[in-house]
Chain A
Amino acid sequence: MSKEIPQSPIKVLIADDSPVDRFILQTMLERLGYRVVLAEDGQQAIERFLTEKPDLVFLDVLMPNVDGVEAASSIKEAAGEDFIPVIFLTSLVDAPSLARCLDAGGDDFLSKPYNQIIIEAKIKAFSRMRVMNRTLSLQKNLIERNNKHLLQEQTVAKQVFDRIANTSSLKLSIIRYYMSPMAVFNGDVLLADISPTGSLMVLLGDFTGHGLPAAIGSMPLASIFYGMVNKGFGMSEILREINGKLNKTLPMGLFCCATFLDINLRKKRLLVWSGGLPDGAIYRAGGKTVERLASRNLPLAILSNQSFKAEAVRYVLEPGDRVLLWSDGIQEARNTEGVMFGEERLNALLEQELDNVHIFDDILQKVQHHIGEGERDDDVSLVEVRFPDEAEAAEVEKQGSRGRGCLQDWSLDFRLEASSLRVFDPMPLLLHITSEVPGLRQSNSVLFTVISELYNNAVEHGVLGLKSSIKQSPQGFAEYYRLRKEGLENLPKDCFVILEFSHKVDPGGGVLRIRVRDSGAGFCPDETVATPGGVPIYHGRGFALLRSMCESITVLPPGNCVEAQFRWLAED
């Protein structure tokens, strides 16, 4: 890209103490169409240069009162970033002398006696160079401006990120961490929060890439993490949600290496899921062992949720045990000679001093010592979580808890009358409510089937009185649903369906009791009878499904009320 330089006639400065030589050159240049400014010596040359701002300067080498070489130096300095060609005028012919002119700061020399053709050619050549120089200058300014904008954008992005990423839990007494303030632009992110169930959840992530693309993934990650921990969701649910979101939103090829810790302070156990980050470590108190937390999974965002596995590895923790995590920034930290800190050095640190309560500081110190004056962009991320004794654990839990919890024990009665039965589909609303119990949310698709069956049975067999046996053939199947549609248009005025939900938590998880009552006379749900010949049964499957999905199904006489009990188990 080159900007058009306005083509005003080129202005040339001639400095020569010989009036004759000055005149000859001036005449030649004016004949060529250039504007000319004159100077009699080096001092005048400098002054005229400052006032007239010529495009090109001819300097006689030998002049009184500041010679050509000194004048050239001053003129070049005054020109600054602008390229003003300086051509020495000289009668010298030997190579060393001519070379010395150029060494002294000149761009070219012109030998006397002057040749007009040569002069014109040289001026044209230098003019091209000036245009090139000006283009470069403009481009450089543009790049500087763009760079400044990028930095401003990053600052704004970081502010948004800091607001989403709640760092207050990182200030808990049992957590120590080191991360560069601009870490999010290296893709590194550290999140921690305490759930209502007494679990400290920690997530260390490392997104591929650098700059804004790396930072952008951190926002949905942090948003989902804090939202779900707050509501009491378990590690697998949270990981699944994050993986799904990132899988859908990140472009192909971008992913997030991560390690997720679920440290339950009451149950004294640790659940770890690790995908793609360097192996973490459990540094046992009393100095007997170091256990490595191996990464067994693909990083987040790569697999679709169908293939994603959120299986965790379980460990028991005792007071004083320390869990250490880090991103690959430590291994890859380079010193001034470009040598990496490396895995061996890190492993040696971990394994040599087994009962080191200062292990966090030691690792950090050794890495920083290694880097020395080296890298400007420090990409080191290190986290230590120390498992507390009972007293401190209670304190920590108290510090961490705030904000909304999740549904525990509750009940809900929902009654649909004729006008609603005709047009309203209650499933999304009901599932939305049951989803507020994290333990039920993980069984969403099963609950849909259960509630849908109960509700449809109540409407079709109960209120509308349709017999399931109508669906005995494909034609019957179509007829059944035609009758259903017709029936909904002509509902008896005072018909209704009531759904009663009642949920209670217990030590192992919880139980949801669903009772569906309709205004009909009562029906008997027929069950599937498996026929040996494999003849397809078009009806009666629903009840078999209910039986297998629920802990119990009871039909209350006279048959217009069905009760299902659905149990869910808490993650360990």
Chain B
Amino acid sequence: MSINSSLSSDGRTLTIAVDGRFDAGSLDEFRSCYESAVRDGPIHFNVDLKRAEYLDSSALGMLLVLRDYAGGESASITISNCSPEVKKIFAISSFEKLFTIQ
């Protein structure tokens, strides 16, 4: 499990890529990725799950916390490269109401 973040060249989009398992053990790393982003920094967040293999409900919680940090209702978060299984998990939890799922 590893989490990497990178800022786009115009500084407006922060991409957080999760590798392997996305569960309670990822909490600290995930949070430090976006908390270390500059205050007046990124407006958009992209959580890239291309290499994420397994998710559990704590991952869902973490995404909600990110959303809150990014402005709650006004947050712009995309969750990208979701496998069919992951999409199903988001669908069951009605996450498409809160995030852009790709």
> A residues within 8 Å of B by Cβ?
306, 425, 427, 444-446, 448-449, 452-453, 456, 471, 474, 477-478, 481, 484, 528, 530, 534, 536, 538-539, 541-542, 544-545, 548
CB distance from A311 to the nearest CB of B (A): 13
Q: List 21 A-B contacts (CB under 8 A).
A: A306-B50, A306-B81, A306-B83, A425-B25, A427-B54, A444-B53, A444-B54, A445-B55, A445-B83, A448-B53, A449-B89, A456-B56, A471-B61, A477-B61, A481-B27, A536-B64, A536-B98, A538-B64, A541-B93, A542-B56, A545-B57
Q: How far is the CA of A555 from the CA of B61 in the complex (A)?
A: 23
Near A by CB (< 8 A), chain B positions 42-93 give 50, 53-58, 60-62, 64-65, 67-69, 81, 83, 85-86, 88-89, 92-93
The reply to whether A449 and B50 contact each other, CB–CB distance below 8 Å, is: no
Q: Check B39 for interface membership: any CB of A closer than 8 A.
A: no
Q: Which residue of A lies closest to B62 (CB)?
A: A477
> B residues within 8 Å of A by Cβ?
21, 23-25, 27, 31, 50, 53-58, 60-62, 64-65, 67-69, 81, 83, 85-86, 88-89, 92-94, 97-98
Most buried by A among B31, B81, B89: B89
The reply to whether B65 and A478 contact each other, CB–CB distance below 8 Å, is: yes
Main secondary structure of the interface of B (DSSP, over half): helix
Q: How far is the CA of A528 from the CA of B94 in the complex (A)?
A: 11
Most buried by A among B23, B25, B31: B23
CB distance from B95 to the nearest CB of A (A): 9
Most buried by B among A481, A530, A541, A542: A541
Q: Across the interface, which residues of A come within 8 angstroms of B88, CB to CB?
A: 548
Task: Tell whether A481 pairs with B57 under 8 Å between CB atoms, given A449-B89, A530-B94, A544-B93.
Answer: no
Q: Across the interface, which residues of A come within 8 angstroms of B93, CB to CB?
A: 528, 541, 544-545
Q: Across the interface, which residues of A come within 8 angstroms of B57, CB to CB?
A: 449, 453, 541-542, 545
Q: Across the interface, which residues of A come within 8 angstroms of B55, CB to CB?
A: 445, 448-449
Q: Across the interface, which residues of A come within 8 angstroms of B69, CB to CB?
A: 474
Task: Tell whether A541 pairs with B54 under 8 Å between CB atoms, given A445-B83, A536-B67, A548-B92.
Answer: no
Q: How far is the CA of A456 from the CA of B54 in the complex (A)?
A: 15
